[in-house]
Chains A and B, each alone.
Chain A
Amino acid sequence: GAVVSQHPSWVICKSGTSVKIECRSLDFQATTMFWYRQFPKQSLMLMATSNEGSKATYEQGVEKDKFLINHASLTLSTLTVTSAHPEDSSFYICSARQATEAFFGQGTRLTVV
């Protein structure tokens, strides 16, 4: 199947700093990518839909100024958590769809201290 690569796998940052997470589709082009957040033992919550060359579409309750999404090419979308706080600590996963199937990145475990 297709491969979606997400980097970094885990990151620890200080409160108030920003963290950038990259999501790449390695062997296919993705005009749309999706960013999810998952708390321990909970489901994946869709945060936003990233559209290549245009603004991302954010789900209700997700602060677009805090979670900056850039989808500058057909193979790369980035999520930047700005001015991170401990409550932003979570597992962030990106996804891209090829045909009818969604492929997920490995996820990024963010810990804000």
Chain B
Amino acid sequence: GQQVMQIPQYQHVQEGEDFTTYCNSSTTLSNIQWYKQRPGGHPVFLIQLVKSGEVKKQKRLTFQFGEAKKNSSLHITATQTTDVGTYFCAGQWGNKLVFGAGTILRVKS
């Protein structure tokens, strides 16, 4: 079945440091989406990438979609304590959205 691998599982950074999480699929994706989930909360949509090689930015967040549409990354520049949470990528095949394992981000102030 469709699977999305996401690494790292966990990252603890000092406030101001950068953070990156990576997702990889064995098959070509229709699109990839990124979500953030705060502890005790539900996933909140961040962005969707559709085009091969696409790069999108949201303030300090940069999202990339690989040329082969099989991998993606989320990079946060100069992390802040408000960035804490779990970041999930989700690959879409047809109507189905399959989530990666998520990367838990902790930020030390």
* Total B residues in contact with A, Cβ cutoff 8 Å: 21
Q: Is B78 an interface position by the 8 A CB rule?
A: no
Q: Is B96's CB under 8 angstroms from A46's CB?
A: yes
A-B pair number, CB within 8 angstroms: 44
Is the pair B97, A46 in contact by a Cβ cutoff of 8 Å?
A: yes
Are B97 and A104 in touch, CB under 8 angstroms? no
Nearest-CB residue, chain A, relative to B50: A100
Which residue from B41, B45, B95 sits with its C-beta under 8 Å from A32? B95
A residues near B73, Cβ cutoff 8 Å: none
**Which A residues lie at the B interface, using CB under 8 A?**
1, 32, 34, 36, 41-46, 49, 60, 93, 95, 100-107
Q: Are B42 and A43 in contact (CB under 8 A)?
A: no
**What are the interface flags for B68-94 relative to A under an 8 Å C-beta threshold, 1 for contact and 0 otherwise?**
000000000000000000001010000
CB neighbours of A106 from chain B (8 A)? 41-42
Contact pick for A104, options B44, B100, B104, CB 8 Å: B44
8 contacting pairs across A/B (C-beta < 8 A): A1-B45, A41-B104, A43-B88, A43-B102, A46-B96, A46-B99, A49-B95, A107-B42
Interface contact A103-B45, CB-CB below 8 Å: yes
Given A43-B99, A43-B100, A43-B101, A101 contacting B42 (CB threshold 8 A): no
